[in-house]
Structure 1
């Protein structure tokens, strides 16, 4: 329904109510006589010019005044007894504004229902610039982002390579050590840092001698790669090996193309590490009490079984990602339509959230997720464009195959994410709802189902699986500055780093 305005005269108040649209004689809403011209600046953009006939304007105005007459209060007349012309004069401004709003709303609704395009954003329409004319038709225009029109690629019978692996005791031992590291205790070490050790350090980055970013007392593990949110430092462990408390180490790092600070994209900045402390990690013993605390495991063998199941979930993720990458490449090879920069910018954050949720349901640790998150940030523009094109294609397949979310799908996804985070499913759901990510989760579920449908029709060739090496340390710091960090991600990462340091 249209909004209601109030007009006050002395102590009398009259509600001016305008219906959504005048009804035809048979009780159904009468469609508007619209002239709609659509221009296509790009595959995903439409510029729409709309003309509403004078007959429709007069019809809406007549209906609005007819609705108002029984309750209209005009000085000198009892409510509902004033002549029509006086009512029209007194309430013209309010009625015209409301009729304009109703005409615009009904026009947009009718255009949408007629299916001239599938909108993926709200219309960019300046309501204040639209005026209801005294004579002649009403005209207005707006820009809107839409799902592109394209010829559907053939998706049945694709040839796909699939990684396969049978996990050995050695695989389980290695992953168990990585998991126990999260529960280990960091003990101060007077000597030099070695591979796998931890350091507490202040980080400062400079461009042309000017400080552009800095952070204090970050706890970092010496690994081959140090991943910032906007760059990667290869050879980090080699750089810091042998460092002691009080030492300073410097190197140059190239800022990534997706950095928030556009001026420094592709340029080198100097990064200095001031070592405050060196620490050794002491892993916990697998005592009966610790096994219970870890997950109510009855024995070390039960723990190892859980580790193997987690590895198998990660293998499943690798299989899905491998297949998805090949499917995306095959399906989007002819999708050469351009995407609006504004759409890419808005969608990049949601694509990042989707990727993180997928990693959480697949059992990756927070440190592994942060490393992959930073990598996604550094290639956000390219990865978002690919993901959007893939989404449009998968969405079409979902519509054609009647694939949608079913009862229990959300609960299953949320349960898997809660297992990774250690939080209750109720709390995980509350966080998703608070951040407005339930629609992202829905898209993720639908897209996965579509991928399963595509794979069910595909022809697979098995290949050896190479587990991802855990050789990247990630920090939520943009070395080029520019405020590129998501506050929630930074806060959570800092809390986890502090918790690791306190254990």
Structure 2
């Protein structure tokens, strides 16, 4: 077999392959055997029809077509390997010549990973938010803990701010009650802002058995983003009593003996959270700087497939789980479909560019993924998916997505190299050390790993369902 590679553009090539006919013999034999099992010829036992009879009765062309279809994948792969190509997607194959007992010639056009030159990235410098925890933030966190331990008592008086009201809601749009617009027995703290805009004013002053109607923009459901007329019925009013902020409260709400110890621990926890956020911000900014240094041509078909797949999964899987369609989602986001499509294209482009650059860096730096690193990443992914590590691992193996996880870890290690080489300063001008930052749970997080995995993941890598057409 002989093959030649013609570069059509930075992301597409045409392979021209010539195959001597003798190399098709195994596929020809397999074609005769397959046809033999499918046909019945009088005078011959099933599966024992001679090749010449098959040629006479069904035509040599049918045999050749079957043989070529059988041989093409292997021949194409051999040409890809010989040309040291990294194809993306399926090729467009064209049989240009088929001479019986002489020669098979075909061409295959396919998108390929572009050749990328990784520049010196040691000069990258980014600025991130400083880690500063104010007394107000500490007090707010302590107050939130205090509210969790509040007690309630039913009262016979008009509802006021801070009270807990039990309410039934009914939402109408254009005079029609929405199927998902009825809710009963909801506990709501007046002034918390956790329900619909306008409900605080509507229920303030109402006693148990009272009703009011107000207009509000729905935040979710089938009519998200639309104005609705909402009827609220108050079934009970309860006063909240907060515990005193003292050492007794600290002992009741935590493992600490004093309120000051509780405040000190709260400050440390907030600092850990902000340091983790700072590390994530640094990774994202370094990644953006790295991508801006590299010219990455993107195959148009790959980009369009990625856009279509992302949109398909959002419209057909993610939004229905939230009880809304695309129109409702756009209303809630206050975006036109054109703006949404533009953002989707930008996200898809960034995901593909990131994957190409980090994969190139993995190869350049000869980064490998150990079993321990893969297991740690699998456990983290399992936690975020709500599955046990064993369940998640089984699902990954059964769906053939182990290479996807390996790629995520490798790209994370590649970005970690760049982050380590970059200069990161905070808004106070202080140098930031990102080594072994802890997240809010106190667990150490390898710099770059999660950010890179998420940013570089394309729909094809995730194995998500692709849209038709």
Q: Same fold (TM over 0.5)?
A: yes
1:413, 1:182 → 2: CA distance? 34
CA contact (8 A) 1:195 1:237 kept: no
CA contact (8 A) 1:203 1:271 kept: no
Superposition deviation, residue 400 in structure 1: 0.7
Pair 1:346-2:309 in alignment: yes
Aligned length: 380
Q: Which runs of 5+ in 2 are unaligned?
A: 204-210, 244-248, 315-332, 431-469
The aligned counterpart of 1:23 is none
The aligned counterpart of 2:362 is 398
Q: State which structure, 1 or 2, has the greater radius of gyration over its C-alpha atoms.
A: 2
CA contact (8 A) 2:131 2:274 kept: no
Pair 1:452-2:416 in alignment: yes
2:151, 2:69 → 1: CA distance? 64
**CA deviation vs aligned residue, 1:48-79 (integer Å, no higher than 9, x gap):** 464444535655566658999xx9x9987899
Relative distance call for 1:418 and 1:102 in structure 2 (3 A) is closer
CA contact (8 A) 2:282 2:424 kept: no
Compare 186-195 and 317-326 and name the one that shifted more.
186-195
Relative distance call for 1:110 and 1:423 in structure 2 (3 A) is closer
The aligned counterpart of 1:324 is 284
Please report the RMSD computed on the Cα atoms of aligned residues, expressed in angstroms.
6.0
1:428, 1:443 → 2: CA distance? 17
Q: Which runs of 5+ in 1 are unaligned?
A: 1-31, 227-235, 254-260, 262-267, 292-296, 352-373, 466-503
1:335, 1:198 → 2: CA distance? 58
1:193, 1:248 → 2: CA distance? 18
Could you tell me the TM-score, scaled by structure 2's length?
0.56
Relative distance call for 1:113 and 1:386 in structure 2 (3 A) is same
Relative distance call for 1:182 and 1:449 in structure 2 (3 A) is farther
TM alignment of 1:356-375, pairs within 5 A? none
**CA deviation vs aligned residue, 1:348-407 (integer Å, no higher than 9, x gap):** 7899xxxxxxxxxxxxxxxxxxxxxx89x9644322322321221111111111223322
The aligned counterpart of 2:456 is none
Pair 1:146-2:102 in alignment: no
1:39, 1:195 → 2: CA distance? 70
2:279, 2:404 → 1: CA distance? 22
CA contact (8 A) 2:378 2:405 kept: no
CA contact (8 A) 1:199 1:222 kept: no
SS of the residue corresponding to residue 148 of structure 1 reads coil
1:158, 1:425 → 2: CA distance? 37
The aligned counterpart of 1:10 is none
Relative distance call for 1:390 and 1:48 in structure 2 (3 A) is same
The aligned counterpart of 2:122 is 156
RCO comparison, higher one (Cα < 8 Å, 6+): 1
SS of the residue corresponding to residue 243 of structure 1 reads helix
CA contact (8 A) 1:50 1:139 kept: yes
SS of the residue corresponding to residue 153 of structure 1 reads coil
Which residue of 79, 83, 86 maps to 1:118?
Answer: 86
SS of the residue corresponding to residue 88 of structure 2 reads coil
Relative distance call for 1:191 and 1:39 in structure 2 (3 A) is farther
TM alignment of 1:342-491, pairs within 5 A? 342-346=305-309, 379-416=343-380, 424-429=388-393, 440-463=404-427
TM alignment of 1:146-295, pairs within 5 A? 146-165=112-131, 167=133, 171=137, 174-175=140-141, 191=159, 216-217=182-183, 240-244=199-203, 246-250=212-216, 270-272=226-228, 274-276=230-232
CA contact (8 A) 1:202 1:214 kept: no
TM alignment of 1:32-47, pairs within 5 A? 32-40=1-9, 44=11, 46=12
